[in-house]
Amino acid sequence: MNIIAVVLISFGLFFFFVGTIGVIRFPDALTRAHGAAKCDTLGAVLSLLGLIVLKGFSPSSIKLLMVIIFLWIANPTATHMIARAILASSGRENKTLGESKDANKTELTIEEAGEVK
Amino acid sequence: MYNFLVFSIIFLGLTTLLCMFRVIKGPTKGDRIIGINIIGTKTMVIIAIVSSILSEDYFIDVVLVYALISFIGSYVVSRELIQSEKEE
């Protein structure tokens, strides 16, 4: 039983570490939100599951199970809300970026069409 | 088992420091909200591990309430950010 708990908590720590690296290294705010979501769901849930396995069947383990269920409901909702906030706060920049990219694409397609002709 | 749990607490503390780097440096407001959300989740796991080390059962209630408050905090801050951007 101890070995299973150690393996589960180790996987949780691994996902926490990977999510933190993602938050530090990713280039954009929305991609950082992606890394943070992995850190929230997989890391926390695996660590708490390891603690449940360590404690066995008791009232405190049922409370930890309630924490896990609440995390699975609440953390994606919070991440969704944060992503909406990021999108609203950087709306103009994203719009201009998209327009410039589309303009480049149309230019490229026109050039390619000219080469083909 | 005790040594492994203490190691995991120290590891989570170090990764919390790495997240604090993003919270302090973060170029936009969204980066800071993301960092604080992750730090809240890690604090929850740290409290749960401490309760397992000390075998104090009532710390689990602290974890439950901390999860509720962390979710409401990040929700309210991001909602406020959306509202302020709509007014501008």
In this predicted structure, the answer to whether residue B49 has a pLDDT above a threshold of 60 is: yes
| Nearest CB to B75 within list A44, A81, A91 | A81
Query: What span, in angstroms and rounded, lies between the C-alpha atoms of B17 and B50?
Result: 19
Distance from CA of A95 to the nearest CA of B (A): 15
Residue B17, burial from CB neighbour count under 10 angstroms (0-12, 13-18, 19+):
exposed
- CB spacing of B60 vs A63 below 8 angstroms: yes
pLDDT in tens, A34-79: 888 888 888 899 999 999 998 888 888 899 999 999 999 998 899 8
The mean of the pLDDT values for chain A is 80
pLDDT above 70: percentage of residues in chain A: 77
* Residues of B in Cβ contact (< 8 Å) with A54: 1, 52
* DSSP state letter for B49: H
pTM value is 0.82
For residue A70, the chain B residue with the least C-alpha distance is B67
Which residues of A are less than 8 Å from B12 in CB distance? 13, 16
Q: What is the mean pLDDT of chain B?
A: 90
Q: Do A74 and B67 touch (CB under 8 A)?
A: yes
Q: What is the mean pLDDT of residues B50-61?
A: 90
Number of other CB atoms surrounding residue B58 within 10 Å? 9
